[in-house]
Structure 1
Amino acid sequence: MKGKVLYLSSIGLLAMIGLLGLPVFSPAQGLKAQGYLLTEYVVKPYMTKEFETTTIEEKAMFADINFPYGYDAFSTEDFHYYFFTPIGKDFASLDRFNAELTEAEARLPENYETLEKRMAGAYEYYREMVVYLRPDLSYAPAESNIKPEESNYVLLELTYILPEKEKEFESYSRDWAALCQKIGFRIGYVAYRGVFGTDNPFYVSTMIARTQADTFVEEERIMKTLSPEEQAELGVAYEKAFSYFRKYETKNGRSRPDLSYTPKAK
């Protein structure tokens, strides 16, 4: 979000509409299928303090006018910052989001422009994209080993799929979620599909845990409980995934509640 209006092209809107008709069959029952504005900043390492300071100041400005759209923030070890803003799932919700942003810019204090210039000096570049949360490709464990307030570590997986392999990859992703449920993996993840502003076909997922060490402990626990046959099944699943990738990146980071914004309840 970050105070910059994103207007979707007709191609982006058509892609969004296409996703609205997707069926949602998911073990991740608590998730809501909808579009998100995902904003990524690549921050200059020596300017991280300035970037975070201005982000917190900006958050306060939006809170003062009670801007109705919140966002969740994450930062990674390579100085990337990600902001996920839920914007709805249809034409009307996209129009409302853009209208609210336009109205907000008119209500923000005069020093907001100066604040934006300070922020711009702290990052190399930023990009905005629309992604669509896919509950059917996500996984929520029946038994979690963390409480929401303990969620600190995040693993972001950015997956760029070979052309015309989306259906096969999504079928694999549903099978993978079912396998996680079968073996009782205790750490969940949320999957999104790129719609507009991304190098499509593109998918991104966020796995949240207490610490990175917890993910290693959980993986070790799972491997000890699996039979040789189940371990072989897991290995085959890993190999199959990479047959769909043209590019694959992982980023270690953490949740940033200090940079996130939750609007006041109406």
Structure 2
Amino acid sequence: VMQYEVTVKEYMALFAEQQYPYPMNVYSTDDFHYYIVTPVENFTELDSIYSLINKVASNAGEKWGAVWEKFAGTYHFNRGQIVIFSSELSYIPEEPRLNPEEGNFIYWGFGYVELGKE
């Protein structure tokens, strides 16, 4: 875990050096899963993100490969997903107890829909 977190910090530093325009927020769970969350406006913005990541990698040169070598053996798998906020299914009080920027912890309840039971 420690080596993974040290390497994530180095990975993020590469993006900061290149002034990558998207925020990359890291969340971790009590069962050692890590999520790098990047807010985007829509699906088409993903093309821009991937293009810019490739640019960061290219500009970072050998540093990019060195960081990925440090990641080797520190995690089981890595994959990306798109999560869509659903305002019509959400409850947001008129005066929330915390503003989004004040919440360092998130309770994230997962619901897996059984297809055909909609």
Structure 2 counterpart of 1:158: 110
Q: Give the share of equivalent positions with the same residue, in percent.
A: 31
Structure 2 counterpart of 1:55: 8
Cα-Cα RMSD: 1.9
Deviation per residue, 1:102-148 (Å, 9 max, x gap)? 22211114122111121132112222112222222222221222355
Which runs of 5 or more residues in structure 2 are unaligned? none
* Matching residue's letter, 1:67: Y
- 1:72 matched to 2:25? The reply is yes
Structure 2 counterpart of 1:215: none
Describe the SS at the equivalent of 2:62. Answer: coil
TM-score after normalising by structure 1? 0.41
Bigger Rg, structure 1 or 2: 1
Runs of 4+ aligned structure 1 residues displaced above 2 Å come to: 143-150
Structure 2 counterpart of 1:135: 87
What pairs up with 1:173-188 in 2 under 5 angstroms?
none
Q: Decide which of 41, 45, 54 is 1:88's aligned counterpart.
A: 41
Residues 86 and 150 from structure 1, CA distance in 2 versus in 1: closer, same or farther, beyond 3 angstroms? Answer: closer
Give, in whole Å, the separation in 1 of the partners of 2:105 and 2:47: 34
Residues 150 and 89 from structure 1, CA distance in 2 versus in 1: closer, same or farther, beyond 3 angstroms? Answer: closer
8 Å contact from structure 1 (residues 71, 83) kept in 2? yes
TM-score after normalising by structure 2? 0.84
Deviation per residue, 1:155-184 (Å, 9 max, x gap)? 121211011344xxxxxxxxxxxxxxxxxx
* Matching residue's letter, 1:56: K
Deviation per residue, 1:230-258 (Å, 9 max, x gap)? xxxxxxxxxxxxxxxxxxxxxxxxxxxxx
What pairs up with 1:219-234 in 2 under 5 angstroms?
none
1:61: Cα distance to partner? 1.1
Higher share of residues assigned strand = 1
Which runs of 5 or more residues in structure 1 are unaligned? 1-47, 167-266
* Matching residue's letter, 1:130: I
Residues 90 and 129 from structure 1, CA distance in 2 versus in 1: closer, same or farther, beyond 3 angstroms? Answer: closer
